Amino acid sequence: MTGWSTRPRWSGPCPAGERLPNTLDVSIDGVVGRDLLAAAPGVAASTGSACRSGVPTPSPVLTAMGMDSARALGALRLSLGRWSTPRDVATAARLLTAAVIGDAVPAAGGR
């Protein structure tokens, strides 16, 4: 992606013992979460809370944590379930990376 950062950042506490072991909330600078999911078919993830599905506003939880609106709109929540495998994780990582690096996702604000 030309002209802006594609640095991934996770949300919440950094020490492993203070995080849920099966959930990762990550954002990529300059990328809107729903656009990223649209560009990575086959990845099942969430861009906000279930009660606000389809509402293109920042997550109130993430903004309450002090996250700015642009970054909150870019957040993806990835979760592992009982039947998730290492291969599932690798596939999701590959698809999300390919969507960002392959310029399949429009730059935030570039519409």
Catalytic site positions:
51
Question: Which 3 state secondary structure label does DSSP give 68?
Answer: coil
Residue 67's φ and ψ, nearest 5 degrees, are -80, 135
Q: Are 71 and 29 in contact (CB under 8 A)?
A: yes
Annotate 11-34 with three-state secondary structure: CCCCCHHHCCCCEEEEEECCECHH
How far, CA to CA in Å, does 22 sit from each of 39, 80, 89?
24, 5, 11
